[in-house]
Amino acid sequence: MRQKLVIIGNGMAPGRMLEHLFERAPETYDVTIFNAEPRVNYNRLMLSPVLSGEKSYQDIVTHDDDWYVAHGVTLHKSARVETIDRNRKRVTSATGISADYDKLVIATGSNPFIIPIPGHDLEGVLVYRDLDDVERMLAAADAGGRAVVIGGGLLGLEAAAGLKAQSMEVTVLHLMSTLMERQLDPAAGYLLEKAFEERGIEVVTQANSSEILGRDGQVSGVRLEDGTEIDAAIVVMAIGIRPSAKLAENSGLNVGRGVVVGDDMRTSDPDIFALGECVEHRGQCYGLVAPLYEMAGVLADQLVGGESLYTGSVTATKLKVTGIDLYSAGDFAEGEDREEIVLRDAAAGIYKRLVLRDNRIIGAVLYGETGDGPWFFDLLKKQLDIAEMRETLVFGQAYQGGPPLDPMAAVAALPDDAEICGCNGVCKSKIVESITDLGLSGLDEVRTHTKASASCGTCSGLVEQLLGLTLGDSYSPAAVRPLCACTDLGHDEVRRLIKAKALKSIPAVMQELEWKSSCGCAKCRPALNYYLVSDWPDEYADDYQSRFINERVHANIQKDGTYSIVPRMWGGMTSSRELRAIADVVDKFAIPAVKVTGGQRIDMLGIEKEDLPAVWADLGKAGFVSGHAYAKGVRTVKTCVGTDWCRFGTQDSTGLGIRIEKFVWGSWTPAKLKMAVSGCPRNCSEATCKDVGVICVESGFEIHFAGAAGLDIKGTEVLGLVKTEDEVLEHIVALVQMYREQGHYLERIYKWAARIGVEEIRRQILEDTDRREAYFDRFVFSQKFAQVDPWSERVSGLDKHEFKPMATLSLEAAE
Binding-site residue numbers are 640, 646, 680, 684
Q: What residue numbers does the annotated binding site for siroheme cover? A: 684
For 684, list phi and psi in degrees, rounded to 5.
-65, -25
Helix (H, G, I), strand (E, B) or coil at 32: strand
Helix (H) or strand (E) holding 237: strand 234-237
Per residue, what are the HEC states of 533-590?
Answer: HHHCCCCCCCCHHHCCHHHHHCCEECCCCCEEECECCHHHCCCHHHHHHHHHHHHHCC
**CA separation for the pair 624, 197 (Å, rounded):** 54
Among 501, 503, 542, which Cα is nearest to 666's?
A: 542
The rounded distance, in Å, linking the Cα atoms of 504 and 167 is 13
* Amino acid of residue 114: I
| Nearest-angstrom CA–CA distance, 605 and 585 | 12
In what helix (H) or strand (E) does residue 367 lie, and over which residues does it extend? strand 360-367
Interatomic CA distance for residues 57 and 86, integer angstroms: 36
User: Strand, helix or coil at 125?
Assistant: strand
Percent helix, strand, coil in the chain, to 5, is 35, 25, 40
CB neighbour burial string for 699-725, b if at least 16 within 10 angstroms, e if fewer? ebbbbbbbbbeeeeebebbbbeebeeb
Q: Provide the 8-state DSSP code for 521.
A: -
- For 795, the 3-state DSSP assignment is strand
Q: Using CA atoms, how far apart are residues 121 and 104, in angstroms rounded to an integer?
A: 35
Residue 209: closest CA among 227, 197, 233, 231 = 227
Q: Is 598 exposed, middle or buried (0-12, 13-18, 19+ CB in 10 A)?
A: exposed
Residue set of the binding site for [4Fe-4S] cluster:
640, 646, 680, 684
Residue 422: what residue type?
Answer: G
Write out the DSSP string of 382-429. Answer: HT---GGGTTTGGG-GGGSSSSPPPHHHHHHHS-TT-EEETTTTEEHH
Q: What's the rounded Cα separation, in Å, for the pair 765 and 753?
A: 13
Q: Are 372 and 343 in contact (CB under 8 A)?
A: no
Which burial class, exposed, middle or buried, applies to 200 when counting CB atoms under 10 A from its CB (0-12, 13-18, 19+)? Answer: exposed
Measured N-to-C along each axis, helices 612-621 and 576-588 cross at an angle, to the nearest 10 degrees, of 160
Positive or negative, the CA dihedral 242, 248, 252, 256 is negative
